[in-house]
Structure 1
Amino acid sequence: MTHIQSPEQRAELVANLFALSSKEYQQHVWVEGRSWGKVVHDEFDYAVHFFFDDSTLQRDPYDNIGWMLRDRSEADLVTAVIEAIDAVLVKHGNGLSDAEYIATPEWAAVVEAAGAALAVIPDSEKVPL
């Protein structure tokens, strides 16, 4: 198994994958603004910034193998998440509320892709939020 050089960014990746994969979390935290475990506030915009601005995942996920991803399989799955988010943003722009984004027909692909990516993360790395 590849050594991860940035466990902090990996933890942030795992947290974002969880948030994107859980419709219950999205409704509870993003839409209703309620806390979830240690999470006091979160929103879809934070995930967008993580994948598109705060990391190089969107530009070159394969370059993150060893940094925050373990292998090509994880990079492929994260690429699918990014593509699903991008499809939502291309179609609907960046001005919708979180409630409006998660109600779009394209949102199901985001939830599915994030769930698939999260499924390959070892349980030992899935820290409760």
Structure 2
Amino acid sequence: MVQYPEMRAQILETLRALADPEHQRQVWVEHRPPRPGYYDDLDLNISVLFDDTIIAEDPCAHIGKTLHNENEAQAVQALVDVLDPFIESLPRGTDDATAISMPAWRDVVEAARRAVTVLERTSG
């Protein structure tokens, strides 16, 4: 059990968005949300990890709060390890279509997929 299950759900939703190129294309690029009032883009997902939940700063510090164990923390850290330099490499004002078409984005998607798998396995 974690202390902040709603925050965990938000983190997991973010990881799923980062792990799903089809979602990224439809929602971030083509602006076709799955339901009215839904909004999602790359900036929002970065904000969840780095600003709103600050899990990207130190995933291990979130064990018991939003993460169940060290395996989850390591999976999130592996994502941060590729996402952070990717973000830093983007020229200012890069749109989502350009960002997700960059070769390095594939590493972000793969790390996010692994993190989703680990967190979903623990969540049951």
Using the size of structure 2 for normalisation, the TM-score is: 0.91
In the TM superposition, structure 1's runs of 4+ consecutive aligned residues that sit over 4 Å from their partners are: 123-126
Q: Give the letter for the 2:98 counterpart.
A: E
Preserved CA contact (<8 Å) 1:77 1:113: yes
Q: CA deviation at 1:55?
A: 1.7
Matched, 1:44 2:18: no
Q: Choose 31-40 or 100-109, whichever is displaced more.
A: 31-40
Residue 65 (str. 1) matches residue 63 (str. 2):
yes
One-letter amino acid of the structure 2 residue matched with residue 114 of structure 1: A
1:91 Cα offset (Å): 1.5
1:57-105 alpha-carbon deviations (Å, 9 max, x no partner): 1221111001110111110110111121112112124421110110111
Counterparts of 1:1-129 in structure 2, within 5 Å, are 3-37=1-35, 40-122=38-120
Partner Cα separation in structure 2 for residue 13 and residue 66 of structure 1: 14
CA distance in 1, matches of 2:36, 2:76: 25
Contact 1:34 1:41 in 2 (8 A): no
Q: CA deviation at 1:22?
A: 0.3
Whole-angstrom distance in 2 between the partners of 1:104 and 1:95: 15
Shift of the 57–94 alpha-carbon distance from structure 1 to 2, 3 Å rule, reads: farther
Q: Residue 30 of structure 2 aligns to which amino acid in structure 1? A: E
Distance in 1 between residues matched to 2:83 and 2:112, nearest whole Å: 10
What's the % identity of the aligned pairs?
35
Give the unaligned 5+ runs of structure 2. none
Which amino acid is 1:40 matched to? Y
Q: How many residues align?
A: 124
Whichever residue aligns with residue 97 of structure 2, its letter is A
Report the Cα distance in structure 2 between the residues aligned to 1:100 and 1:93, rounded to whole angstroms: 10
Root-mean-square deviation (CA), in Å?
A: 2.0
Q: Name stretches of at least 5 consecutive residues in structure 1 with no aligned partner.
A: none
**Higher helix proportion (structure 1 or 2):** 2
